[in-house]
Amino acid sequence: MSDTPAPQHDTVPASAEDKTLDKLLAEAQARIDEQRDAWMRALAEAENVRKRAQADVAAAHKFAIERFAESLLPVMDSLEAALGAAAGSPQALRDGVELTLRQLKAAFQKANLAEIIPVAGERFDPHRHQAMAAVESENAEPNSIVSVMQKGYSLHDRIIRPTLVTVAKALENKGGDPISDANLNSN
Protein backbone atom coordinates (compact mmCIF):
# COMPACT_ATOMS: atom_id res chain seq x y z
CA MET A 1 0.00 0.00 0.00
CA SER A 2 1.14 3.37 -0.75
CA ASP A 3 1.60 6.14 1.68
CA THR A 4 -0.10 8.74 -0.43
CA PRO A 5 -3.53 9.38 0.72
CA ALA A 6 -6.34 9.20 -1.79
CA PRO A 7 -7.43 12.63 -2.97
CA GLN A 8 -10.51 13.85 -1.29
CA HIS A 9 -13.14 15.47 -3.54
CA ASP A 10 -16.04 17.40 -2.35
CA THR A 11 -18.51 15.33 -4.22
CA VAL A 12 -22.20 15.88 -4.20
CA PRO A 13 -24.26 12.78 -4.14
CA ALA A 14 -25.47 11.84 -7.63
CA SER A 15 -29.11 12.41 -6.83
CA ALA A 16 -28.47 15.97 -5.55
CA GLU A 17 -26.41 16.77 -8.67
CA ASP A 18 -29.23 15.45 -10.91
CA LYS A 19 -31.73 17.64 -9.05
CA THR A 20 -29.55 20.74 -9.53
CA LEU A 21 -29.15 20.04 -13.27
CA ASP A 22 -32.87 19.32 -13.63
CA LYS A 23 -33.64 22.58 -11.84
CA LEU A 24 -31.25 24.57 -14.07
CA LEU A 25 -32.68 22.90 -17.17
CA ALA A 26 -36.23 23.68 -16.07
CA GLU A 27 -35.31 27.32 -15.43
CA ALA A 28 -33.63 27.60 -18.83
CA GLN A 29 -36.64 26.01 -20.53
CA ALA A 30 -38.97 28.40 -18.67
CA ARG A 31 -36.89 31.39 -19.89
CA ILE A 32 -36.97 30.03 -23.44
CA ASP A 33 -40.74 29.63 -23.23
CA GLU A 34 -41.14 33.18 -21.90
CA GLN A 35 -38.94 34.60 -24.67
CA ARG A 36 -40.75 32.60 -27.33
CA ASP A 37 -44.08 33.83 -25.95
CA ALA A 38 -42.83 37.45 -25.92
CA TRP A 39 -41.50 37.06 -29.47
CA MET A 40 -44.81 35.61 -30.69
CA ARG A 41 -46.73 38.47 -29.05
CA ALA A 42 -44.39 41.04 -30.63
CA LEU A 43 -44.78 39.35 -34.01
CA ALA A 44 -48.58 39.35 -33.67
CA GLU A 45 -48.54 43.01 -32.59
CA ALA A 46 -46.35 43.96 -35.56
CA GLU A 47 -48.76 42.15 -37.90
CA ASN A 48 -51.73 43.97 -36.31
CA VAL A 49 -49.95 47.33 -36.70
CA ARG A 50 -49.21 46.52 -40.36
CA LYS A 51 -52.85 45.59 -41.00
CA ARG A 52 -54.09 48.76 -39.24
CA ALA A 53 -51.65 50.87 -41.29
CA GLN A 54 -52.85 49.24 -44.52
CA ALA A 55 -56.47 49.91 -43.55
CA ASP A 56 -55.63 53.54 -42.68
CA VAL A 57 -53.84 54.05 -46.00
CA ALA A 58 -56.75 52.48 -47.89
CA ALA A 59 -59.21 54.75 -46.07
CA ALA A 60 -57.00 57.78 -46.72
CA HIS A 61 -56.92 56.99 -50.45
CA LYS A 62 -60.64 56.34 -50.54
CA PHE A 63 -61.64 59.51 -48.69
CA ALA A 64 -58.72 61.81 -49.59
CA ILE A 65 -60.89 64.29 -51.45
CA GLU A 66 -63.78 64.23 -48.99
CA ARG A 67 -63.21 67.82 -47.77
CA PHE A 68 -62.72 69.02 -51.33
CA ALA A 69 -65.93 67.30 -52.41
CA GLU A 70 -67.79 68.88 -49.48
CA SER A 71 -66.57 72.33 -50.52
CA LEU A 72 -67.76 71.70 -54.10
CA LEU A 73 -71.34 70.86 -53.07
CA PRO A 74 -72.38 74.54 -52.68
CA VAL A 75 -70.91 75.21 -56.14
CA MET A 76 -73.13 72.46 -57.57
CA ASP A 77 -76.14 73.88 -55.73
CA SER A 78 -75.43 77.35 -57.13
CA LEU A 79 -75.05 76.07 -60.68
CA GLU A 80 -78.33 74.18 -60.43
CA ALA A 81 -80.07 77.26 -58.99
CA ALA A 82 -78.66 79.42 -61.79
CA LEU A 83 -79.95 76.99 -64.41
CA GLY A 84 -83.34 76.93 -62.68
CA ALA A 85 -83.51 80.72 -62.70
CA ALA A 86 -82.30 81.05 -66.30
CA ALA A 87 -85.68 82.51 -67.26
CA GLY A 88 -84.89 85.52 -65.04
CA SER A 89 -82.93 88.58 -66.07
CA PRO A 90 -79.49 88.24 -67.66
CA GLN A 91 -78.06 90.29 -64.77
CA ALA A 92 -79.43 87.81 -62.20
CA LEU A 93 -77.87 84.97 -64.18
CA ARG A 94 -74.54 86.82 -64.33
CA ASP A 95 -74.65 87.52 -60.59
CA GLY A 96 -75.36 83.85 -59.91
CA VAL A 97 -72.46 82.71 -62.08
CA GLU A 98 -70.11 85.21 -60.36
CA LEU A 99 -71.22 83.89 -56.96
CA THR A 100 -70.62 80.34 -58.15
CA LEU A 101 -67.14 81.25 -59.41
CA ARG A 102 -66.29 82.81 -56.01
CA GLN A 103 -67.46 79.62 -54.28
CA LEU A 104 -65.36 77.51 -56.62
CA LYS A 105 -62.28 79.67 -56.02
CA ALA A 106 -62.82 79.38 -52.25
CA ALA A 107 -63.04 75.58 -52.58
CA PHE A 108 -59.81 75.58 -54.59
CA GLN A 109 -58.11 77.75 -52.00
CA LYS A 110 -59.16 75.44 -49.14
CA ALA A 111 -57.74 72.47 -51.07
CA ASN A 112 -54.46 74.34 -51.82
CA LEU A 113 -55.25 74.22 -55.53
CA ALA A 114 -53.66 77.38 -56.93
CA GLU A 115 -53.80 79.04 -60.32
CA ILE A 116 -50.58 79.48 -62.29
CA ILE A 117 -50.97 82.71 -64.24
CA PRO A 118 -47.71 84.03 -65.65
CA VAL A 119 -47.51 87.64 -66.82
CA ALA A 120 -46.33 88.73 -70.24
CA GLY A 121 -42.56 89.04 -70.27
CA GLU A 122 -42.03 86.40 -67.58
CA ARG A 123 -39.35 83.85 -68.38
CA PHE A 124 -40.67 80.53 -69.77
CA ASP A 125 -40.37 77.73 -67.18
CA PRO A 126 -40.87 74.24 -68.71
CA HIS A 127 -41.80 72.87 -65.27
CA ARG A 128 -44.76 75.25 -64.96
CA HIS A 129 -45.58 76.20 -68.54
CA GLN A 130 -46.24 74.42 -71.82
CA ALA A 131 -45.34 76.31 -74.98
CA MET A 132 -48.07 75.98 -77.58
CA ALA A 133 -46.52 78.36 -80.09
CA ALA A 134 -43.40 80.44 -80.62
CA VAL A 135 -43.75 83.84 -82.26
CA GLU A 136 -41.25 86.44 -83.33
CA SER A 137 -41.40 89.54 -81.20
CA GLU A 138 -39.45 92.76 -81.31
CA ASN A 139 -40.60 93.77 -77.83
CA ALA A 140 -40.08 90.51 -75.92
CA GLU A 141 -36.91 88.64 -75.10
CA PRO A 142 -36.52 85.15 -76.57
CA ASN A 143 -37.98 82.43 -74.31
CA SER A 144 -40.24 84.87 -72.52
CA ILE A 145 -44.01 84.52 -72.34
CA VAL A 146 -45.92 86.64 -74.85
CA SER A 147 -49.47 85.52 -74.00
CA VAL A 148 -51.39 82.99 -71.90
CA MET A 149 -53.79 80.66 -73.70
CA GLN A 150 -55.00 78.71 -70.66
CA LYS A 151 -54.05 79.04 -67.00
CA GLY A 152 -52.45 76.17 -65.18
CA TYR A 153 -53.00 74.79 -61.70
CA SER A 154 -50.81 73.41 -58.94
CA LEU A 155 -51.79 71.33 -55.92
CA HIS A 156 -49.44 72.35 -53.13
CA ASP A 157 -46.15 72.30 -55.08
CA ARG A 158 -47.14 69.72 -57.70
CA ILE A 159 -48.20 70.91 -61.14
CA ILE A 160 -51.63 69.49 -61.97
CA ARG A 161 -51.91 71.27 -65.33
CA PRO A 162 -49.20 73.49 -66.84
CA THR A 163 -50.11 76.93 -68.16
CA LEU A 164 -50.48 76.93 -71.95
CA VAL A 165 -48.48 79.88 -73.30
CA THR A 166 -47.13 81.51 -76.42
CA VAL A 167 -43.38 82.11 -76.21
CA ALA A 168 -41.24 84.73 -77.94
CA LYS A 169 -38.47 83.62 -80.25
CA ALA A 170 -35.61 85.56 -81.74
CA LEU A 171 -36.28 87.57 -84.87
CA GLU A 172 -35.14 85.94 -88.07
CA ASN A 173 -33.23 88.26 -90.35
CA LYS A 174 -34.92 87.59 -93.70
CA GLY A 175 -33.38 90.44 -95.64
CA GLY A 176 -29.83 89.61 -94.68
CA ASP A 177 -27.66 91.18 -92.05
CA PRO A 178 -27.58 94.96 -92.67
CA ILE A 179 -24.12 95.28 -91.12
CA SER A 180 -22.71 92.49 -93.29
CA ASP A 181 -24.47 93.88 -96.36
CA ALA A 182 -22.98 97.33 -95.71
CA ASN A 183 -19.50 95.83 -95.39
CA LEU A 184 -19.93 93.97 -98.70
CA ASN A 185 -21.05 97.12 -100.52
CA SER A 186 -18.15 99.19 -99.19
CA ASN A 187 -15.49 96.84 -100.65
Domains of the chain, start order = 113-173 (2.30.22.10)
15 vs 13: which has the higher pLDDT? 15
Which of 138, 140, 143, 137 shows the shortest CA–CA distance to 123? 143
Cα torsion for 58, 62, 67, 72, to the nearest 10°?
Answer: 170
**pLDDT reported for residue 125:** 94
User: Which of 44 and 87 is assigned the larger pLDDT?
Assistant: 44
Confidence tier at 151 by pLDDT (50, 70, 90): very high
**What is this structure's pTM?**
0.59
Q: Do the beta carbons of residue 86 and residue 96 sit within 8 Å?
A: no
Of the listed ranges 102-106, 124-128, 136-140, 171-175, the one predicted with least confidence: 171-175
